[in-house]
Amino acid sequence: MSEAPKDAPFQAVQIDALVILKIARHCSSTFPTVATGSLVGMDQNGTLEITNTFAFPTIDTSAADSHQNDASNLAAAAPRAKSNIAYQAEMIRHLKEVNVDANNVGWYTSATMGNFVTMPFIENQFYYQKDNDKTVALVYDTSRSSQGTLALKAYRLTNLFMSVYKEGKFTTESLQKSKLSFRDILQEYPLAVHNSHLLTSFLHQLPSPPAATEPKEPTSLSDLNNDRIKAPLYPSIDNLDLSIDPFLEKTCDLLLESIESHYVDLNNFQFYQRQLAREQTKITQWQAKRKAENAQRTLAKQPLLPEDEWQRLFKLPTEPSRLEGMLNAKQVEQYSKQVDGFTANISSKMFAVRENLLPQ
């Protein structure tokens, strides 16, 4: 797990187990639609403690326009909706009345197969982080957690990306000047699960099964007839299964889609470069022609023509934003990490039986 930078407002995130259960229940009930909610807690000694959470209300899509009637997109933008902002303020006011932690410390969202690096995610986190630096975004992978492995991670926008995003310029020149890359968009923070002392005491008091005693050796034939030796359980051979994990196949498909999206964005930028080169060539030719005309008019003692008229005659194409391409590259990196994690066990199995896989 990556460590937090030294200049970060907090160094780690601590979340109560009850909060994880609430997030898991909400995300599982709305799957495959994106689920979002608010997080409350407090910052103490460099640790952001998340002690409670509540879900945002479901947005009614029946009154939406036809081109916006997408439940997933509307749910992804729920943290910035005016109705949910008022609902969050009302809930925090009620929490203060019952004397519990009522400081907003971020928000959470659900994801499928690690697909969360999108524009709504960046906009939501920027909305929270611009006013309160001590906020975090929790990403709960519903599909991965359904297989018995808790997939919950904490992210925050880096200070460098926040400064560039405030300016709103993601051109090649601005990115080179700020030295911003796709690796500098998000920063993952260590996440620790916390239980109350009362719950910990209860878990320690749960009765455990008695330990199996060593079998006594028989002393006579009658002992064998009276107490026959039980056959041992057969060993599990599931670990020897060489089938590919279906999550690995799906992740590879999503990885290919992200790579295709990255190439589409790259082709659009190359098209802009070709258009810019053509227009600059036309401008150069026009300026050379105008200089020749002014040279002739100087010999004829006639008034010179303006040489900056090309700004009105020619219009340079606008450079497309590089932010979408950076997000695609970040998503490709996220999928690559997942593929690396999935193939760790499969590669060891393939290595163990490689002699049987090689052609004879």
Question: Which range among 64-78, 106-120, 177-191, 302-316 shows the weakest confidence by mean pLDDT?
Answer: 64-78
Compute the distance between CA of residue 40 and CA of residue 36 in angstroms, rounded to an integer.
14
pLDDT, one tens digit per residue, over 190-237 is 888 888 888 788 878 887 766 666 667 767 777 767 766 565 555 566
Question: Which range among 15-24, 52-61, 124-133, 299-308 shows the weakest confidence by mean pLDDT?
Answer: 52-61
CA dihedral 291, 296, 298, 301 (to 10 degrees): -150
The pLDDT score that the predictor gives to residue 329 is 85
Compute the distance between CA of residue 39 and CA of residue 138 in angstroms, rounded to an integer.
9
Give me the amino acid identity at 2: S
Residue by residue, DSSP assigns 91-151 as HHHHHHHTTS--EEEEEEEEEBTTB--SHHHHHHHHHHHHH-SS-EEEEEEHHHHTTT---
Give the mean pLDDT of 155-161: 88
The pLDDT score that the predictor gives to residue 64 is 43
pTM: 0.72
38: nearest Cα among 111, 96, 92:
92
Mapping DSSP onto H, E and C, the string for 46-92 reads CEEEEEEEEECCCCCCCCCCHHHCCHHHHHHCHHHCHHHHHHHHHHH
Q: Mean pLDDT in the chain?
A: 79
The pLDDT score that the predictor gives to residue 62 is 47
pLDDT, one tens digit per residue, over 87-131 is 888 888 888 888 777 788 888 998 888 888 888 888 888 888 888
Question: Which range among 65-69, 91-95, 282-286 shows the weakest confidence by mean pLDDT?
Answer: 65-69
Residue by residue, DSSP assigns 154-191 as EEEE-HHHHHHHHHT---HHHHHHHT--GGGSEEEE-E
pLDDT, one tens digit per residue, over 166-180 is 888 888 888 888 888
54 sits in the region (left: phi over 0; alpha: psi -120 to 50; else beta) called beta
Give me the amino acid identity at 245: D
The pLDDT score that the predictor gives to residue 130 is 87
Compute the distance between CA of residue 254 and CA of residue 115 in angstroms, rounded to an integer.
8
Give the mean pLDDT of 315-323: 81
The pLDDT score that the predictor gives to residue 310 is 76
pLDDT, one tens digit per residue, over 209-222 is 666 666 677 677 77
Give the mean pLDDT of 324-338: 84
pLDDT reading at 24 higher than 70:
yes
